[in-house]
Structure 1
Amino acid sequence: MIPDWNHALNRDRYLDLRDTYTALVGADERWRSGEHDWLQPHVLHLSRYIVIRSAGFLESTRDTAASQFVASVAPAEVVRRVDDALGRGQGAAPKQLSDFLRTFSPSWATLLDEAFDARDGELRSRVGALIAARKKVAHGEGDPVTLTRALEGCEAAVTVADWIVSHFTALQMATTAPSAT
């Protein structure tokens, strides 16, 4: 099941992703019941689509959360410089996400790596598979997408995006909180 999204940031993108996830599950259930044989190719195409959308959601959420954080703690010149660098295909593979956070603070990358490595690295594996599948689908290099992997990748992308937004939000609140003097 796709995790809930309790953030205003990228809410519309999340709702689209959730609706696609729900439609994909429903189409697969109808196809498997034998109700609609014509749905099989549509399930495959929706699986590919949700892989691409999930990866894009994760990348966009990372960039937007970072931009909002920087805007809350830095002068306008720094914000413009950071915003200029965001959205330039930095990728959303686990190592790329960790490296991105490391540019802010090594400890932030360590925290994300710990989240990735919990439960025997399941989250790292699912996000890595999602990003690899997105690349192959986008470049026409075979078709590694199965319904199960597409849904797992979507769930993992939302989980990591939630972690990133929650992390930046907590830092932003701590940075902008009034001092107790």
Structure 2
Amino acid sequence: MNTWTAPEAQRESEPFTGPERAMLQGWLDWQRQTLLTKCAGLTAAQLRSASVEPSNLTLLGLVRHMTEVERSWFVVRAAGQTPADDLYSSEANIDGDFDDVADADADANLAAFRAELPAADKAVAGLPLDHEFTLRDNRLSLRWVYIHMIEEYARHNGHADLLRERIDGVTGD
């Protein structure tokens, strides 16, 4: 019987020069692919395993969380679109992305993440970086969202690196 493992990720180098939008998109894409790189080659059970008690943080939980974060910031908030469905969390279960991984379908969850990335990019493709929206009485720009997302991935990719090292000793950038 073949055991499913997370597919390899193709990470392109981040840009060193260029226009602002391309720089932001390039760094965001690099961070997105870094998360997938941390998952590559692991089984569903490994992706669902919490590495250090009492934390329940898992690589699959991080993937599910970032799927929701992509949708929330780019599609819902910046672009003002309303998705047809919830992903993993709800008002009744606000941490479902992190908490409900024990029986989660890792293959489907990684596919959902991979599908959300072009959907997020498409949602804001026609908006300028200076596009603004209001969230909790604050005016935010799309530029801010890109910077925030790069920071969010960088933080969680640090978690992912530690999780991966604990699972099988693999480290890297």
User: Shorter-chain-normalised TM-score: which range?
Assistant: 0.3 to 0.5
Which TM-score applies when normalising by structure 2?
Answer: 0.38
Q: Which has the higher contact order (CA 8 A, sep 6+)?
A: 1
More helix by share: 1
Structure showing greater radius of gyration is: 1
Which TM-score applies when normalising by structure 1?
Answer: 0.37
More strand by share: 2
